[in-house]
Structure 1
Amino acid sequence: MTNLYFVRHAHSTYTPDEIGRPLSALGLADAEIITQMLINENINRVISSPYKRAIQTVQGVAEFFGKEIEIVHDFKERTLSDKPLEDFNSAIAKVWADESYSWEGGESNILAQARGVKATMNVLEKYADENIVIGTHGNLMVLIMKHFDKQFGFRFWQELAMPDIYKLTFDKIKLVEVNRVWH
């Protein structure tokens, strides 16, 4: 069995710099809790989105297990639009209601999901039978989960915590079980 621990990043301090946005003080404290929650999980690898907030969220886990963080660009958050949208909530609801819709310069759910699933399949094939932490983002994480189990969708995304951790257990590339680790 392969266990993927998808870690939605902790709270960040807003800056327009999407890639370099750091964790807030609360986010840094939560990242320490994440490390404590995963120290008994025998982690073999730590992978992350290239975004600073995702890296910072899983950095303690990597340090505890003596692992380098492998950056996988396809675990970055979905691009909603290439310019600021007036109402984020209605903008995100629209792309979830119509999976092929995308805002100008943004990714549809279909495109973002395909990118995330491809990255996930690569991890499953490359690191079979390992325990892998993946630092990522809420929207992309749920799109990946939805590919394997249709029960995960917009409402599930709305109820995620920040941070959050879901352990997906696979037999080869077949999802067998999903467990929430964060509480």
Structure 2
Amino acid sequence: MLTNIYFVRHAHSTYTPDELGRPLSIKGLADAERICEILENENIDIIISSPYNRAIQTVEGVAKFIGKEVIIEDDLKERTLSVKPVEDFNFAITKVWEKPSFSWEGGESNIIAQKRGIRTILRVLDMYEGKNIAVGTHGNIMVLIMNYFDKKYDFSFWKDLNMPDIYKLSFDNKNLKEVNRMWNGT
């Protein structure tokens, strides 16, 4: 019996310094409607999301469609890169991917963020075995989770993601069997 996790990288958001409350942009809201249309045909049973507003907004249409609440999982929030804004984001993100145990001041290393995300996903696989689960999440934590199951999902893969993006991961128990890109946000 397969369990399918549909990772939904959040749609485009309007930048604000409030990471938790940042809303989707007009384009992001339109993309969230498209995500709902795509996932309506996937027999989704459960909706889980990061606590960040942009991730919740991206999957809440699916939750309304199936008549269920969005379950918030704090450990699916985006990885904290640094406690302070970094001067050069590309340099900062490259360094944490090159050295998985490295972290910037107040930030999470790849190893720490991955452990956090995997702990939650393994619990979800136990709780909802045989179900179809949509997960509203973020690019870095999503790829770190995918990387745990298959190392080909790495920094280069992350750089090629779109906003939004949908990946269906099919599991037999906790063994990843297949990954399919459902929509690339274009």
The answer, yes or no, to whether TM exceeds 0.5 is yes
Q: Secondary structure at the match of 1:107?
A: coil
CA distance, structure 2, for counterparts of residue 60 and residue 115 of structure 1: 26
> Matches of residues 115-126 of structure 1 in structure 2 within 5 Å?
115-126=116-127
Equivalent residues in 2 for 1:83-94, closer than 5 Å: 83-94=84-95
Aligned length in residues? 183
Measured after TM superposition, the shift of residue 88 of structure 1 is: 0.6
| Residue ranges of structure 1 left out of the alignment (5+ in a row) | none
* AA aligned opposite 1:36: E
| Letter in structure 1 aligned against 2:71 | E
Matches within 5 A, 1:44-63: 44-63=45-64
- 1:159 matches 2:160: yes
When the two structures are superposed, what TM-score results if normalisation uses the length of structure 2? Answer: 0.98
Deviations 1:39-92 (A, max 9, x none): 010010000000000000001000011111000000000000000100111100
CA offsets 1:2-47 (integer angstroms, 9 cap, x no match): 0000000000000000000000000000000000011010010000
- Identity of paired residues, percent? 66
Looking at structure 2, the residues matched to 174 and 149 of structure 1 have their Cα atoms a distance apart, in angstroms, of 10
Where does residue 133 of structure 1 map in the other structure? 134
Shift of 1:117: 0.5
CA RMSD, 1 decimal = 0.4
Q: Which amino acid aligns with 1:109?
A: N
Match of 2:69 in 1: 68
